[in-house]
Amino acid sequence: MTGRGPLLAALEWQLAAGVDEVVGFEPADRFAPPPERKAPAAPPPASRAAAVFARPAAETAAPGPAQDAAGAGDLDALRERLLAFDGCALRKTATTTVFGEGPAGARLMIVGEAPGADEDRQGRPFVGPSGRLLEQMLAAIGLPREDVYIANTVYWRPPGNRTPSAEEVEACRPFINRQIALVAPEVLMLAGGAAAKTLLGTTEGIMRLRGRWSRFGTPDGSIDVMPTFHPAFLLRSPARKRESWRDLLAVKARLESAGS
Ligand code: URA
């Protein structure tokens, strides 16, 4: 190969390996020696006095994610707090924050795993191929997407669509917990094993969890939860749609009985 061929092949190889994000616009010289560290200058007298009378760390520490999220009185406030939150490493590589969308009083809320490439570009959850299938599934039980609140367990796309790490999920957990409590749906549907494990606090796999009603506790009570397969899994394994259909019918029946 000559000219651009080898370069394109190298780029394609990186893409296939999942390296599809630019994390900085300046090249980093990873072989350069570390910069010399200067000894810290002694604090000026005034700041030494301030240090003596400094308040204890617990009082002065910046609020953590739990306080950030729990103090939000509505979804707009929660979004503001999430946008100001930099405690999740995923934020650094993502293009946008995918907060979630839907009516505040939605009767059904769906939580997926993490935004993908399409969601990262548009800043909206479930807008790619999985989203299209999800919309068809909802339509099959008579629910327009616009009536459903949709979010994810993490708010930023993991590079290369990898599974979010335990730390990333934990960093986002106070926000999704609060979001569910604020939407307060009658039924919470968890799409896929990652969302089910995170929000039900279990290590059981989706094959065992799906189709079985569970409860999600909030400060104001608890919500019916139906774990089901992720639409991305159904796109790869269409034969499993039969079980998903049963889960959807169970959700529909629960909403109908709650509404009557
Ligand atoms: N998969 C998810 O779990 N969430 C999205 O928003 C898109 C794809």
Name the DSSP letter for residue 222: E
What are the residue ranges spanned by the domains of the chain? Answer: 63-259
135 lines ligand 1 (CB under 6 A): no
What pLDDT tens digit does each residue of the chain (260 aa) get? 567 888 888 777 776 665 666 655 566 665 676 655 555 454 444 444 343 344 433 334 455 777 789 889 999 999 999 999 999 999 999 999 999 999 999 999 999 999 999 999 999 999 999 999 999 999 999 999 999 999 999 999 999 999 999 999 999 999 999 999 999 999 999 999 999 999 999 999 999 999 999 999 999 999 999 999 999 999 999 999 999 999 999 999 999 998 86
115 lines ligand 1 (CB under 6 A): yes
Pocket test for ligand 1, best of 111, 120, 121, 152 (most atoms within 8 A of CB): 152
pTM of the shown model:
0.78
**187 CB-near residues (< 8 Å, 6+ apart):** 107, 108, 109, 223, 224, 225, 226, 251, 254, 255, 258
113 lines ligand 1 (CB under 6 A): yes
154 lines ligand 1 (CB under 6 A): no
Arch. (CATH architecture) of 63-259: 3-Layer(aba) Sandwich (3.40)
String of DSSP letters for 58-101: HHHSPP-HHHHHHT--SHHHHHHHHHT----THHHH-SS----B
Cα of 30 to ligand 1 centre, how many Å?
Answer: 34
Cα of 119 to ligand 1 centre, how many Å?
Answer: 7
How do beta strands 148-152 and 187-191 pair? unpaired
